[in-house]
Structure 1
């Protein structure tokens, strides 16, 4: 059984200069549309010159160096504007957008838009976050919850991890696999699924914060806001 929301599904992923959404810059991005079998119907890709040095640790993850970004990348403001416009177009077509660990990519995109004087993306359409749904459906599974780990659990091939295109498509296919595997527990109404994820993310963050305060740092705080912080 398939849920109607993923008969045609938008996917989105960023590769960036770092992990802090307030300061990191976009290096590469992918937006795509998958059909119900996970086949790519349409895709858009970008390589940006972020305007700052790309740290070696970031290059080690996604393989894009400062030299390459400056030589081959387009101005960051142009890229950010086009990403926002493309995602806006997906929402206008009534598509749900899959983003693995959505608060990272969507918050970072928001900050980049503000930085470059671009009207930020209004999250007018439903977001599907396989990380949040997987945690809710399989709460006690041991091990990592990375995209690569989830790909293995749900039988999705991730051949080129930390490439924005490969990661975006894998996230969409994981969402589809979760929907099939947990069809009895997930709503077919995508607006309801979006609402549920807000609560699931808040609960997960509260639980993690409690654990960290009890075991490591009494002052530890984490945000449970979703899908943007």
Structure 2
């Protein structure tokens, strides 16, 4: 039996959501799991898949492994909302990055289905915040972890530069040849003492550094902000020619304007 040693005055419900995406307004829950830590030290676990009433994007399914067929015969959130709210009655809430995503998403689903779920009188505990506070992920922490040394004169350019060199050297020594699983569950070795491999591992494939334009999953350059977010750049420039002038005159980085110009020239000057 799962137990805990937390000092509780009311049950603490740890929960995690799998969803169709990360947009709290547009996306929906496809799975919810709750581990309710009770005052007596016991833990009650409840997991439920949910039919979101919309297709699950393939990129989301590849993250959590839940596809449309897996939830086709599951209840909608509306059908389980009242019983879920009852299960969480009187509970504080906890999770990992929960205050930024899971709590807002859950509250939105309850409100969408006309079920009262107020968090005003609930304590909201996010284990990720504690993790980041107690185990900082900065240069000094990395230097101590990988090199077992304190970083003296942190934030001086030379000290930081030399520390980073030592960290990468130590990372290659520690991880070269270490096999892990990729998102498909296949074995692979991510860290090699080879700069091409390390570049591929650590550098996102960028269009512009400000990421106003990004590649979609098909490798097509798309707008990454505003009313045209997600639309191919070439299509936007074709449908709305004035958009190019607006961006070129707007408060965008020169690098972004240069890349936009390159895309325009490539698409329209070869006709």
Which structure has greater helix proportion?
1
Residue number in structure 1 paired with 2:108: 111
Structure 1 residue runs of 4 or more that deviate by more than 6 Å after TM superposition: none
Residue number in structure 2 paired with 1:29: 32
Residue number in structure 2 paired with 1:97: 93
Looking at structure 1, the residues matched to 127 and 63 of structure 2 have their Cα atoms a distance apart, in angstroms, of: 21
Residues 56 and 76 (structure 1), Cα distance of their counterparts in 2 relative to 1, 3 Å cut: same
- CA RMSD after TM alignment: 3.1
The question of whether the paired residues in 1 share the 8 Å contact of 2:38 and 2:44 is answered with: no
Residue number in structure 2 paired with 1:121: 118
The match for 1:15 among 15, 18, 31 is: 18
C-alpha deviation, 1:21, in angstroms: 1.4
Structure 1: tracts of 5 or more residues without a match: 143-160, 162-214, 218-229
**Larger RCO (CA under 8 A, 6+ residues apart):** 1
Paired residue total: 138
Residue number in structure 1 paired with 2:52: 50
Looking at structure 2, the residues matched to 80 and 47 of structure 1 have their Cα atoms a distance apart, in angstroms, of: 12
C-alpha deviation, 1:123, in angstroms: 4.1
The question of whether the paired residues in 2 share the 8 Å contact of 1:32 and 1:40 is answered with: no
Looking at structure 1, the residues matched to 134 and 8 of structure 2 have their Cα atoms a distance apart, in angstroms, of: 18
Structure 2: tracts of 5 or more residues without a match: 143-182, 184-208, 212-271
**TM-score by structure 2 length?**
0.44
Residues 13 and 123 (structure 1), Cα distance of their counterparts in 2 relative to 1, 3 Å cut: farther
Looking at structure 1, the residues matched to 133 and 46 of structure 2 have their Cα atoms a distance apart, in angstroms, of: 31
